[in-house]
Structure 1
Amino acid sequence: MTQSVSRRLVVGGGAVTALGVAGLVSGCDKLEDLFTQIQNRPVRKNVATLDPNGPELTAYKAAVTAMRGLSASDNRNWTKQAEIHLNHCPHGNWFFLSWHRAYLYAFEAICRQMSGDTTFALPYWNWQAQPSVPAPFWVAGSPLNYSPRSATPTSVIPPGITDPPTMEDIQSLTDFQSYASYASTAPRGGTGGGTGELEGTPHNSVHGFVGGTMGTYMSPLDPVFWTHHCMIDACWVDWNIRRGHQNTNDPVWTGYTFTDFFDRAGDPMTITTSQVLLMPLLNYRYDDPVIGEPGPGELKAAMRSNADAQALKKTLETGGPSTFKITQRVPVAQGLEVNTVRPTQAAAKLSTDALTASLDRRERLFLSVAIAKPPAENDFFVRVFVGKPDATAQTPITDPHYAGSFAFFGDDDAAANALGAGHGQHMTAKRNFIVGIDSTAAALSKAGALKGGAELPITLVTVPFEPQRAVKSTGFSVGQLELLVSPEPSSEPAKQ
């Protein structure tokens, strides 16, 4: 029988108390002490700081081993849990963050049940501070050591993906859609969509960097998957709670109910988006990782009392408008073939006059890359340069012409073939990426490179995740490149 997450939380669930998400979502105001409840919730910790023989990793290994040993008919079976992702994961739309948070929550509860550790909380991989796959995932004979992977213990995530300046740029975005991916009518098969910067850069790139199974929709077979997505969720907590940016209040998003998951007993469960929004407030917290540049710790600056906790609860439940207003769309190029052998330039170019005018108005500038045909393999990422026709894979990201990067993830055709006709479709027909270029335009303006009447070429450079890795993919097709102008205030100072 399918039960709501509220019912399961009231009945029990390890470290989750009787108040659970149910009390918060139902609007109950007569709580003994919400602040104390929040202080005592389980803590998700940095996997790199954990004792190899400590309770967290011991429980995680025990849970993985036990789930792999379950019958294939048990919904908690390790492969069955990965197939949830294959069959249902939304990527490239605004259900990306909420669906994966619910997925982590349900999986974490199963880990508690299977390990016998009712206080277990999933660890996270802080790839900003530790840009290599953490040591616990390489121990010989450990259930956390999975194959195949393309990365090795000494592999390092390339710059421009998870480093502090890159993450600060992403975490500083104020609009939900440009941060968390774009509006869609459904997690899969809906209309709309497009990939935001959190998903397109660190999320997709880390999947491709680890490689092997992690580059596919069956990526949860690799135990490092769960720690990667805990870090993505920690980024969302930082963006939404510590920095105070609002999630969308669009009823299509806030009113969605997920039915793809199973509880600790293996029974189907339902989780509403309103419950998802309150999970980091009540059901778990992170041990204050620094994401982007250092700032006040998660929740500490905002909450000192039960009244503060209630106010934060209301803020999380309410959200705000998120329309990602575009005041101008400037076509840059169409029908662009990008190959992995040499850098590719757009046939058209950006007008320096248009860039200067937007900087004067303190507008945000984005390059929209609409994909017509994705690559056959996700074994590279793409760097974008403005006004540098000679850019190569060796051009450093400290070059003022560098704008940002994006990467591909998943294989829609493989998902469809695995599930049969009518299943496994991607969430939308669109595979669009955006790269913010206002910081680049400001840097070029400061250097005197935005001369009136000139045009700047856009160069897309495919880069292997490691210089020694062979890239199997031959490239991809871009349907359209556009310059998007948004009234969202830019963080760049006004021109003097």
Structure 2
Amino acid sequence: MQAKKLHSSSMSRRTFLKATAAVATAAGAATLPFGQTYAQGTTKYRRLNLLNPEAKRTINSYKKAIHVMLRLPPEDPRNWYRIALTHTMDCPHGNWWFLVWHRGYIGWFEQICRELSGDPSFALPYWDWTENTDPKNPFQPGVPDVMFEDVLTPAHPAYIGQSSEFQARFREVIARASYWKRIYTDGQFDDKTQYGQLLARGVRSPDDLWFDILDDPRGLFFFDQAHARGLTREKPGFDEKTTKAVSLQTLLAALSPRDFTTFNSPKTMGHSGLTGFGVLEGQPHNRVHNCVGGIFTDEKGRTTDSGGFMQANLSPVDPLFFLHHANIDRLWDVWTRKQQALGYPVLPEGSDYKAWSDEPFLFFVDSKGQPVTKRTAGDYATIGDFNYSYQPGSGEQIIPQGLAIAAAKAAASARIEHFNAQITDSTASAGDGASGEVTIPPALLQARSRLDEPILFAKVTVALPPLGHGHDFAVLVNAPDNATIDPSSPHYAGTLSMFGHHIVHAPVTFTVPLSGALAAIREGNQLKAGAPLNIQVVPEKMAMPGVLTATRDVETRAEVLSIVVESH
């Protein structure tokens, strides 16, 4: 297959936007009044939308807590950078512990903020990136203006300005911490310890950790103040790929799966492993991190797209991190309530639940800086003792209301169907794309007119080089030669991209919703009845936000091992 050129399209952008928007509106995307929701019950704390005027007091308390944490000595585990290092050392991405670990992480962080701000009612606000945040540009979401105030931006002088200063303050403290303690049980090293979890990530000593943070040639974790966040107050908007990833269309698709692992991310043997991404993690989560991180040019004039804390595993240095993940957690809560309304499981089942629930989470501390007693994934399977609920936001319309519940239950009783594509070209590399053909029953390719109708996903499994995590691949549907490789194309389904630095030891599976692309090409009369779908995986030139002419040639390749289309 020839490389797709970055120009021309067989459908106008107006038609494309009309068709993709129809997927959301036909599904009832704009039918619920703001504030109407499936009952969440009475809770002590309420997490508000960041843009809600009532959140102003909460935001001020957040600033106060950050100021205090930045001033705490490095020996205090509640110090701002010590909390961020917990994420560096233990966070799971690309597996089925992604949601539950981050629920525990931001839940304890919220309690620390409550303690240090002196605000006993403090609850983290959430950043609903699907909403428009720029009244001057209603089609481009981005970073809300308030998040450039005071210490809500990591470019503020209260933060550590240089990596040398960061290392000088924290190196000895980290070396003396309990992380490296070797514990033996019955003469055998206990890998369910902090040091065991670090070893599973290849971090053998403090020197290994500092190498990852400051010296890794694949990209740094720590950034000076001038490059602490890529998006600026003057240019806060997301790029096109991220705008697509956070759109209501993508969000509703992300909330549609009927089983936990498709909604979350695939199973692994431990939370340090990476096996793949569900729609929620792989699309809005990863894209927002990478886009907000942005770019910078070093002293030698080299421009990189790996700049900014939000793109790396020290991402919690940016206060946006916690509001971003509060929204991810909110959407997990929305999905859970949808599953409950339909009578579907909300967690892994059977032996899967035990394996998932028993996974150790050993690095969290409480509001006094003491290790917490809740030390497994199962302790955070529900919101539980954190005792918060969310002000309704984008995605609530996925939950059936009133009489619609019976119809939705009847539709949801249909079994999940799987259709394997025949791979016709497996290699995606510079100048070429991989592709596969899959035949889908005509009934599943019809336009969605109701929320309870099935939605199609492509699970694309690719083998990448061990250091090939930094490259993006576009997924296109029925794309002719010369189709545009960006979200303006009616054939564009999504982008495969990772977050952070990972050594890729095994194939990675990405889940991508197809309904938007199918609606757009159907609108353009390009969906032929009875013909198989051609799904292509095409390397992208990595255009960097804020620099219109800067691109990086694709120097990696992927082998597409399988493409499976599922209906949910």
Is the CA contact (8 Å cut-off) linking 2:421 and 2:563 kept in structure 1? yes
Amino acid at match of 1:458: Q
CA distance in structure 2 between the partners assigned to 1:405 and 1:280 by the alignment = 35
Q: After superposition, give the CA deviation of every residue in 1:348-397 in whole Å (9 maximum; x if it has no partner).
A: 4425xx2357948979451414141377785x754321121322245615
Percent identical pairs in the alignment equals: 28
Separation (CA, whole Å) in 1 of partners of 2:43 and 2:457: 43
Kindly indicate whether the alpha-carbon contact (under 8 Å) linking 1:48 and 1:135 is maintained by their aligned counterparts in 2.
Answer: no
> How much has 1:243 moved relative to structure 2?
4.9
2:291 corresponds to which residue? 209
- Within the candidate set 234, 247, 255, 1:171 is matched to 255
Letter in structure 2 aligned against 1:368:
V
Whether the 8 Å CA contact 1:42–1:120 is kept in 2: the answer is yes
Q: Deviations over 1:408-443 (max 9, x none)?
A: 210136xxxxxxxxxxxx8x7443312233664576
Amino acid at match of 1:370: V
Length, aligned pairs only? 404
Q: TM-score under structure 1 normalisation? A: 0.71
Asked if residue 410 in structure 1 is aligned to residue 500 in structure 2, the reply is: yes
**Does 1:67 pair with 2:69?**
yes
Q: Distance between the aligned counterparts of 2:284 and 2:500, measured in 1?
A: 14
Distance in 2, matches of 1:182 and 1:92, equals 7
1:449 equivalent in structure 2? 527
Q: Distance in 1 between matches of 2:425 and 2:106?
A: 40
Partner of 2:271 in structure 1? 187
Shift of 1:287: 0.6
SS in 2 for 1:266: coil
Whole-angstrom distance in 2 between the partners of 1:448 and 1:472:
32
Residue type of the alignment partner of 1:142: V
Report the more deviating stretch, 388-397 or 62-71.
388-397
Cα drift, residue 82 of structure 1: 0.8
Q: Find the counterpart in structure 1 of residue 58 from structure 2.
A: 56
Cα distance, 1:254 vs. partner? 2.5
Write out aligned runs for 1:97-496 (5 A). Answer: 97-129=99-131, 130=133, 131-139=141-149, 141-146=150-155, 147=225, 148-153=228-233, 154-157=235-238, 158=240, 159-189=243-273, 193-211=275-293, 212-244=308-340, 246-249=346-349, 250=352, 251-271=354-374, 272-279=376-383, 283-291=387-395, 293=397, 328=420, 330-337=422-429, 339=430, 344-346=432-434, 348-351=435-438, 354-356=439-441, 359=444, 364-373=456-465, 378=470, 382-388=473-479, 389-393=481-485, 396-397=488-489, 399=490, 401-412=491-502, 429-437=506-514, 440-441=517-518, 444=521, 447=525, 449-450=527-528, 456=534, 458-460=536-538, 462=540, 464=543, 466=545, 468=547, 470-472=550-552, 474-486=554-566, 488-489=567-568
Contact 1:193 1:430 in 2 (8 A): yes
SS at 1:484 equivalent: strand
Question: Residue type of the partner of 1:85?
Answer: H
Alignment match, 1:44: 47
Distance 1:474 1:69, change over 3 A: farther
**Structure-2 change in CA distance of 1:176 and 1:483 (3 Å):** same
Contact conserved, 1:38 with 1:282, CA < 8 A, in 2?
A: no
Report how far residue 119 of structure 1 moved.
1.3
Shift in Å, 1:283: 1.1
Gaps of 5+ in 1: 1-35, 303-322, 414-425, 490-496
Q: Contact 2:94–2:276 (CA<8 Å) still a contact in 1?
A: yes
Gaps of 5+ in 2: 1-38, 134-140, 156-224, 294-307, 406-414, 447-453
The amino acid of 2:365's aligned partner reads F
Deviates more, 1:382-391 or 1:79-88: 382-391
Shift of the 374–240 alpha-carbon distance from structure 1 to 2, 3 Å rule, reads farther
Aligned residues of 1:175 and 1:324 also touching (Cα < 8 A) = no
How far the C-alpha of 1:295 sits from its partner, in A, is 5.4
2:104, 2:416 → 1: CA distance?
25
* Structure 2 residue matching 1:47: 3-state secondary structure: coil
Secondary structure of the 1:262 match is coil
Q: Deviations over 1:212-246 (max 9, x none)?
A: 11000000000110000001111111111145352
Alpha-carbon shift at residue 203 of structure 1 (Å): 0.2
Aligned to 2:433, what secondary structure does the other structure show?
A: strand
Matched AA of 2:231? A
Match of 2:284, SS state, is: helix
| Residue 358 to residue 186, structure 1, CA distance change in 2 (3 Å) | farther
Report the RMSD for the aligned CA atoms in angstroms.
3.5
In structure 2, do the counterparts of structure 1 residues 451 and 358 end up closer, same or farther at CA, with 3 Å as the change threshold?
A: closer
* 1:41-61: CA deviation from partner (whole Å, max 9, x where unpaired): 201111122468x43112111
Quote the Cα distance in structure 2 between the aligned partners of 1:459 and 1:37.
Answer: 40
- 2:383 is paired with a residue of what secondary structure? helix
Q: Per the alignment, do residues 121 and 199 of structure 1 end up closer, same or farther by CA in structure 2, a change over 3 Å counting? A: same
C-alpha deviation, 1:113, in angstroms:
1.5
Cα distance in structure 2, aligned partners of 1:332 and 1:437: 19
CA 1:205–1:371 in 2, change beyond 3 Å: closer, same or farther? farther
Q: Which residue of 1 aligns with 2:159?
A: none
Query: Deviation digits for residues 99-139 of structure 1, max 9, x if unmatched?
Result: 00000111111111111212111111110003211222212
